Every structure is written in structure tokens, then in C-alpha cells.
Amino acid sequence: MAAKTKENTAAQLALLEELKAAAQKLGFQVREERLLREVGYRVRSGSCRVRESDIIFLERGLPPSAQIDVLVDELSGRPMDEIYLSPAARALVERAAAKDVRRDGGSEALCG
């Protein structure tokens, strides 16, 4: 049982690193930090723009599976055709993108 858990953890860590590399190829900085929380606001993992940089912050204390979920959500709406992803990683990203399309009713939101 312990060997199976180690295998899962190793596979998750490899997937996490692959998704971080994909995000970097898309121009994101990926930073693992301890995101401080204080009264009055809630901080969570995700992307933001700071000056000219697109950054994905990952809460350092999150387990690898939760960090993978954050990265998959951030990458799901991005053009990934030019970036190599393993079949497992691509399946996760495409599944998340399909959920986003269903949730939006198939229409794209326009910023203005």
C-alpha cells in the first residue's frame, strides 16, 4: 500500500511539474508561495497580472493534487495546440475546458 501511495505521489509531482512548464511556455510565471490570509480578505491560488507579468500563484501548503487542479483550471482556456503535454495532462486540461464551455452555455464572454 505504501509503494502505491509513493507511486501516486511521484506521478502527481511529475504531472505538476509538466503543467508548471506548460504555463511557463504560455508566458506565466508560476510561483509557489505561502499566501497569507488576514481578516477582511481571502487569498487563494490562481492567476493574476502584476504590472507586465502574468503570474500563477500556488499556495505552498496545498497538496500536489490541489495545485494540479489550479493549474488545469488556469490552462483550460488557453491555446495549447503548440505545447506538448502528455496524454494524461492533455486529457485533464481538455476535460476542464469542456466543463467551462458547458458552464458558459457555449458562448464566450467579451471584455470591454
Give alpha helix (H) positions in the chain.
Answer: 2-25, 64-75, 87-103
> How far apart, in whole angstroms, are the C-alpha atoms of residue 112 and residue 93?
27
pLDDT tens by residue, 43-57? 678 787 888 888 999
Looking at residues 15-27, what average pLDDT do you find? 96
pLDDT tens by residue, 45-104? 878 788 888 899 998 888 999 999 999 999 998 898 899 999 999 999 999 988 876 555
